């Protein structure tokens, strides 16, 4: 039986300490577990703060799941006391409020024309085919424009697991798919339709509906929803 005491964050090599790496390289370079470990400050007798953060995230299916539980539920994990749980809950609430504040400043998608107006300047003159995800809030505000892939649209490039992981990270209520055709002709290909239907099925299982798939051409666009394709 290994009775060696786990290293605290202070005892870790400097290059492995989340706080030091945040200061040196920025918060965006840290993993979600590293950021939660900073909030925890210390681990338990058995685990470092980073390992404890990893277990907390795993037990609650990631950051989105963690944001849906109360501090009283967090403390059920050994090593998470009420102070740690309250600190995490406060940080998550601040994140939600910042996201909500930003979303109110973001455009609202009411129809395919709104998608066209929002994405045409970005994709109209692209020489390569790019696939974007627009995660939407409950009020249909665009939370971000996430580039998912570059290259011809097919099953190996756009995978439901990767796409909906992004949607879950934003706690999206729904999503819109957008990609461009460098040829300038936005008519959907057979592959476009097949991938869209596959992503729609995945969205149904996760209760994150795919509202539309808009293809951008040179000054023209096609909405699969408007065309009755999906």
pLDDT recorded at residue 155: 41
Residue 156 above 70 pLDDT? no
DSSP string, 114-161: HHHHHHHHHHTT-SS-EEEEEEE-TT-BB---EEEEESS--TTTS-HH
CATH number of the CATH domain containing 141: 3.40.140.10
In a domain, 3, yes or no: no
Verify that 157 and 194 share a domain, yes or no: yes
pLDDT recorded at residue 115: 98
pLDDT recorded at residue 13: 60
Question: For residue 40, what are the contacts with CB-CB under 8 A and spacing of at least 6?
Answer: 49, 52, 53, 80, 84, 87, 88
pLDDT tens track for 43-77: 888 888 889 999 999 998 888 888 889 999 999 99
Confidence label for 9 from pLDDT (cuts 50, 70 and 90): low
Verify that 95 and 153 share a domain, yes or no: no
* Last residue within a domain, chosen from 40, 71, 100: 100
* Last residue within a domain, chosen from 79, 100, 121: 100
In a domain, 105, yes or no: no
Domain region containing 149 = 112-227
pLDDT recorded at residue 84: 94
CB 30 within 8 Å of CB 22: yes
pLDDT recorded at residue 1: 43
In a domain, 106, yes or no: no
pLDDT recorded at residue 6: 52
- Among residues of the chain, what percentage have pLDDT more than 70? 88
pLDDT recorded at residue 16: 66
pLDDT recorded at residue 152: 65
Rounded mean pLDDT of 114-136?
94
Half-sphere exposure (Cβ direction) of 112: Cα atoms closer than 13 Å: 18
Please tell me the total count of domains within the chain. 2
Question: For residue 204, what are the contacts with CB-CB under 8 A and spacing of at least 6?
Answer: none
Verify that 143 and 189 share a domain, yes or no: yes
CATH number of the CATH domain containing 54: 1.10.150
């Amino acid at each position: 039986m290994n009775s060696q005491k786990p290293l605290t964050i202070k005892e870790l090599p400097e290059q492995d300490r989340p706080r030091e790496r945040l200061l040196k390289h920025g918060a965006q370079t840290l993993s979600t577990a590293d950021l939660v470990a900073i909030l925890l400050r210390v681990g338990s007798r058995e685990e470092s703060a980073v390992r404890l953060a990893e277990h907390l995230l795993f037990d609650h299916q990631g950051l989105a799941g963690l944001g849906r539980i109360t501090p009283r539920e967090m403390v059920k994990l050994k090593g998470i006391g009420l102070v740690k749980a309250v600190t995490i809950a406060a940080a998550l609430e601040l994140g939600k409020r910042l996201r909500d504040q930003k979303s109110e400043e973001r455009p609202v998608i009411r129809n395919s024309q709104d998608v066209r107006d929002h994405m045409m300047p970005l994709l109209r003159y692209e020489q390569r085919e790019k696939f974007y995800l627009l995660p939407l809030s409950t009020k249909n505000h665009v939370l971000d424009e996430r580039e998912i892939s570059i290259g011809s649209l097919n099953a190996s490039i756009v995978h439901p697991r990767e796409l909906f992981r992004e949607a879950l990270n934003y706690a999206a209520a729904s999503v819109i798919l957008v990609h461009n055709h460098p040829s300038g002709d936005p008519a959907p290909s057979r592959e476009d339709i097949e991938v869209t239907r596959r992503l729609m099925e995945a969205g149904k299982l996760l209760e994150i509906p795919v509202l539309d798939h808009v293809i951008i051409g040179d000054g023209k666009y096609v909405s699969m929803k408007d065309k009755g394709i999906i």
